[in-house]
Structure 1
Amino acid sequence: MSRSPGPRPGAGPGVVAIAVVPGAGVGLTLWDMYELAIACAVFGIAQPDLADPWYELRLCGDTTGPDSAGGVFGIRTTHGLDGLVGADTVIVPSVPEACVVGDEPVPEPLVDALRSAAASGSRMVSLCAGAFALAAAGLLDGRRATAHWQHTGELASRHPEVIVDDSVLYTDEDRILTSAGATAALDLCLHLVRQDLGARVAGQVARRLVVPVHRSGGQAQFIEHAMPKTADDGIGPVLQWASRHLDRPLTVAGLARRAGMSPRTFHRRLQAATGTTPLRWLLTQRLALAQSLLETTELPVEVVGERCGLGSAANLRHHFTRTLRISPSDYRRAFAPPALTGKRR
Structure 2
Amino acid sequence: MVVTEEIELPSWDLYELSIPCTVFGKPQPDLAESWYDFRLCGVGDRFAEAYGGSPGRARFTVRTPYGVDDTVIVPSVPDSCVEGEQPLPAELVTALRRAHDAGARMVSLCNGAFALAEAGLLDGRRATAHWMHTAQLAERYPKVTFDDSVLYVDEGDVLTSAGLTAGLDLCLHLVRLDLGAHVANQLARRMVVPAHRPGGQAQFIDMPVPVTDDAGLTPVLAWARAHLDEPLTVEDLALRAAMSPRTFYRRLQEATGTTPLQWLLNERLSLARSLLESTALPVERIGALTGLGTANNLRHHFLKRVGVSPSDYRRAFPPQRTRPERTST
Q: TM-score range by the shorter chain?
A: 0.7 to 0.9
Q: After TM superposition, give the deviation of residue 294 of structure 1 in Å.
A: 4.5
Q: 2:204 aligns with which of 220, 227, 230?
A: 220
Q: After TM superposition, give the deviation of residue 51 of structure 1 in Å.
A: 0.6
Q: After TM superposition, give the deviation of residue 272 of structure 1 in Å.
A: 6.5
Change (3 A) 1:317 1:175: farther
Change (3 A) 1:255 1:155: farther
Find the counterpart in structure 2 of residue 20 from structure 1.
Answer: 5
Q: After TM superposition, give the deviation of residue 55 of structure 1 in Å.
A: 0.9
Q: After TM superposition, give the deviation of residue 125 of structure 1 in Å.
A: 0.7
* Contact 1:22–1:96 under 8 Å retained in 2: no
Instruction: Give CA-to-partner distance per residue, 1:242-277, whole Å, 9 cap, x none.
Output: 544433456789989996349xx96x9876654457
Q: After TM superposition, give the deviation of residue 98 of structure 1 in Å.
A: 1.1
* Contact 1:197–1:335 under 8 Å retained in 2: no
Find the counterpart in structure 1 of residue 181 from structure 2.
Answer: 199
Find the counterpart in structure 2 of residue 79 from structure 1.
Answer: 66
State the TM-score, normalized to the length of structure 2. Answer: 0.76
Q: After TM superposition, give the deviation of residue 180 of structure 1 in Å.
A: 1.7
* Contact 1:228–1:236 under 8 Å retained in 2: no
Find the counterpart in structure 2 of residue 124 from structure 1.
Answer: 106
Structure 2 alignment gaps of length 5 or more: 51-58, 324-329
What is the one-letter code of the residue matched to 1:129?
Answer: N
What is the one-letter code of the residue matched to 2:27?
Answer: A
Provide the secondary structure at the position in 2 that maps to 1:95: coil
TM alignment of 1:317-336, pairs within 5 A = 319-320=301-302, 323=306, 325=308, 327=311, 329-330=314-315, 333-335=318-320
Change (3 A) 1:239 1:153: farther
Structure 1 alignment gaps of length 5 or more: 1-15, 339-345
Find the counterpart in structure 2 of residue 90 from structure 1.
Answer: 72
* Contact 1:225–1:273 under 8 Å retained in 2: yes
TM alignment of 1:269-284, pairs within 5 A = 274-275=256-257, 281-284=263-266
Instruction: Give CA-to-partner distance per residue, 1:317-336, whole Å, 9 cap, x none.
Output: 56546727573644674447
Change (3 A) 1:279 1:131: farther
Superposition RMSD in Å? 3.7
Q: Does 1:140 align with 2:103?
A: no
* Contact 1:270–1:278 under 8 Å retained in 2: yes
Q: After TM superposition, give the deviation of residue 169 of structure 1 in Å.
A: 2.1
What is the one-letter code of the residue matched to 1:68?
Answer: F
Structure-1 separation of matches of 2:125 and 2:99: 18
Q: Does 1:51 align with 2:35?
A: no
Report the count of equivalent residues: 307
Q: 2:22 aligns with which of 20, 23, 41?
A: 41
Percent of aligned pairs with the same amino acid? 55
State the TM-score, normalized to the length of structure 1. Answer: 0.73
